Amino acid sequence: MARVLMTGFAPFGGESVNPSWQAVSPVGARRNDVAAVELPCEFGASLPALRRALDEHRPSLVVCVGQAGGRFDVTPERVAINLIDARIPDNAGAQPVDVPVVPDGPAAYFTTLPVKACAAAIRAAGVPASVSHTAGTYVCNQVFYGLMHLLATDFPGARGGFVHVPFSPEQVAAAGKPAPSLSVEKIADALEALADTASTVTEDLPVSAGAEH
């Protein structure tokens, strides 16, 4: 039984790879305490797949990971909102607009991970990191909100959250234009530092991680 469940996404939006799964997969392969699961980038299938993984592995810690092209660093997310507003169709062609993740659910859930401590640990591992206050309104936010709802209602005692990672150099090279990126190896190092910190730290650092906008 794995202590940590870590998920990444299948490629989407015309990409051939997704750095979230590219990094999560090797972490699961080299650590006995991590179960790695790939989630479909589909509104109708992502949360059922996550629920199956929770039922199978019964983790004490869940770290869901997604791609955020355009970000420069690894960003643990602080809050998920009960909203889906898809800019592009998912991999099944669905493009819901202005619908809740969970009808009649709370407006938002905060992560139960110590995101400031996690960001500090990632930086100590030599990878740029910062706390994010928006997980968007696409499948990443849906999974983040859905995870926190499942933990609150059906899996008491488990803690969890979401982290976004930048493009990989492979994606940037394929696009043929400059963009922020991190190597898959660096992203994997960041995820290990995050998981180790979240597994042992319950009180977050009393430092500012606020945003101006």
Does the active-site annotation cover 133? no
Candidates 42, 118, 140, 149; catalytic one: 140
Does the active-site annotation cover 140? yes
Report the C-alpha gap between 81 and 88 in whole angstroms. 18
Candidates 15, 41, 42, 77; catalytic one: 77
Q: What is the DSSP string of the chain?
A: --SEEEEEE---TT-S--HHHHHHHHHHHH-TTEEEEEEPS-TTTHHHHHHHHHHHH--SEEEEEEE-TT-SSBEEB-EEES-EE-SS--TTS---EEE-SSTT--SEEE-SS-HHHHHHHHHHTT--B--BS---SSHHHHHHHHHHHHHHHT-TT-EEEEEEE-B-HHHHHHHTS---B--HHHHHHHHHHHHHHHHH--SPPSS------
Candidates 15, 42, 64, 164; catalytic one: 164
Q: Which residues are catalytic?
A: 77, 140, 164
